[in-house]
Amino acid sequence: MPERTNEQWLEDLRGPSPRRDDALEALRALLVRGLRAALAGWSHVRDEDIEDFAQETLVRILGALDTFRGQSQFTTWAQKIAVRVAFTELRRRRWHDVSLDQLLESVRGEFTFTFLADKEATPEQQVLQRLLWEQVRRAVEEELTERQRQALVAVVFHGVPLEEVAKRLGTNRNALYKLLHDARKRLKARLLAGGLSHDEVLAAFERHE
């Protein structure tokens, strides 16, 4: 069967069975091939994972057909969605067995500073970074509520996906944005009051957003 045009993909996916079923199966096979190529270097990704990513992508595509504007090939658009689905899930799994309390505990120790420090800094710069980090750490401990600390440490310092943090905190993405905004605002005020310049605050804090 010749390759479908953008219009044919849309018509078939919106059409009745068996035409719709044939289009879904063709798209699933295409997504699986693309994901296998994109995730070839990920040794822990199994065939079952790729099938799951492809199925989740199909669900999202069917719900987003009206948003396709035809500015690229339909298959390219679909593959981009598949890659986003896969990497979002892989990031979520990375933190699946790590509690927010464990992440919060790390900010009190050496791990977070080591993780954030500039590996190419001179010895003098490293000393300044450590002093600056100590001020940030104290501000996190003393200025933020427990909920703000959990959100900020997870998202900013450890890169946990927003969706995962929102789920663990029992909230939604918009409320989490507000929580993070308030936490940043309080920290900036504390650091500025402690004598740091605005540029130093940005370098110490917003650099890792």
Prediction pTM value: 0.51
Residues 106 and 204 in one domain: yes
| Tokens 């981009």, located at residue | 80
Angle between helices 19-38 and 6-14 (to 10 degrees): 120
Domain boundary among 55, 70, 94: 94
- The range of the structural domain enclosing residue 20 comes to 6-94
Q: What is the pLDDT along the chain (209 residues), one digit of tens a residue?
A: 568 999 999 999 999 988 999 999 999 999 999 999 888 877 778 899 999 999 999 999 999 999 998 888 999 999 999 998 888 787 766 655 555 455 445 444 444 444 445 556 566 555 656 666 677 778 888 888 989 988 888 887 777 788 888 888 999 989 999 998 998 888 888 877 766 665 655 554 443 43
Residue 1 lies in a domain: no
CATH number of the domain within which 18 lies: 1.10.1740.10
